[in-house]
Amino acid sequence: MSDDQTEHEKKTEHEQEMEEAKQEVQQLQEDPPDKLEDWPEGKAKYETFGGAEGDHSYDEGPEANLGPDSVRHREDGSVEVGGEEVDDPDEFKGDPIPGGPTDPSAASNRDEQWLASDEDEDEEES
C-alpha cells in the first residue's frame, strides 16, 4: 500500500468532503461563473474563493478575476472605480436578481404588500 492510499484512508469522511470542496472552488478561480446559479452547491459553496483570508491581497489572488476591488456604487446611480467616475455605470452593474428589489418584473415584496394593506385599512377607517 502506498503512502497516498494510507493517508487517504486516515482521513475522515468530513475531511475528504472538505478537500473535494476546496478542489472544486480552486477550479472556478481561473474562470469564475457569471451567473449565481452556476456557482457550486453542497460543501463547496461554503469554501472561501481565493483560499484562506490573509494569504495574499485581492489583486494578487484569484479574486481579481471577479473584477476590480475599488468599484463604488453611489446612491445617485453613478459608479466610480479607483476614485474616478466611470463614463458608463451600466458596465459595472449586473442583472437584477429575479424577484429582488431591483427586478422590474417582480411582484412587490412582503413589506410593500404589508404596508399597502395597512394603508388600505387606514383609508377604510376614515
Element containing residue 71 per DSSP (H, E) = strand 71-73
| pLDDT computed for residue 123 by the predictor | 66
Q: Can you give the pLDDT at residue 99?
A: 74
Residues of the chain with pLDDT under 50: 1
> What pLDDT, on a 0 to 100 scale, did the predictor assign at position 47?
77
Given this model, what pLDDT does residue 5 score? 54
What gap in Å lies between CA 25 and CA 65, rounded to an integer? 13
HSE-up (13 A, CA, CB side) for residue 66: 16
CA–CA separation, 113 and 99 (whole Å): 14
Contacts of 93 (CB under 8 A, 6+ apart): 73, 79
